[in-house]
Amino acid sequence: MIRWLRLAATATVVITMISLGVVVGLFLVANSGWVPVTVPPWLTDLFGDKPRDVWLPALIAGWLTTVILLGVGLIWSMYYVWRRRQYEALIVRLERELARLRNLPFTDPAPLEDLPEHPDPNAARILASLAAGDDDDDLSAGG
């Protein structure tokens, strides 16, 4: 679905640009002269009341550039919003995975395969003597 939509959008843009180029080219060939442009009343203080002669191809190129820049800005902002939503969804997925990993000892404890089946009496005696020795060291250090 997305590939078809992308192909249709690309074809529409290409056909539109070609047809716009043909129309503008034919229009400029027919009207390649200078045209008078009157200054709007709210700009007469800045530019004066005298009409200005403007080369028609430059005027049309300015309009066309403005329309193209507005279209590019709109498409870029839509792409930016789409990518931002993708990044936010990725962050939410990673946070869920991190929460699952943090709770792993509670939800899936490690097996006791490292512990022996039966306790070793020698190891118990050694641990008991070490524990008793630590208590004696604590008393002698404090007293």
- With beta carbons less than 8 A apart as the criterion, state whether 6 and 21 touch: no
pTM metric for this prediction: 0.46
The DSSP call for residue 35 is E
Domain boundaries, the chain: 1-30, 35-109
Per-residue pLDDT at 111? 67
Per-residue pLDDT at 112? 67
pLDDT tens over the chain, length 143 residues = 778 888 999 999 999 989 988 887 787 777 778 888 888 888 888 888 888 888 888 887 888 889 999 999 999 999 999 999 999 999 999 999 888 888 777 766 666 666 667 778 888 888 888 888 765 555 555 44
Per-residue pLDDT at 87? 96
Q: What is the largest CA-CA distance in the chain?
A: 111
- With beta carbons less than 8 A apart as the criterion, state whether 19 and 31 touch: no
Question: Which ranges of 103-143 would DSSP assign to H, the alpha helix?
Answer: 104-107, 121-142
- With beta carbons less than 8 A apart as the criterion, state whether 51 and 37 touch: yes
Q: Which residues contact 96 (CB under 8 A, 6 or more apart)?
A: none
Q: Which residues contact 55 (CB under 8 A, 6 or more apart)?
A: 33, 34
Per-residue pLDDT at 143? 44
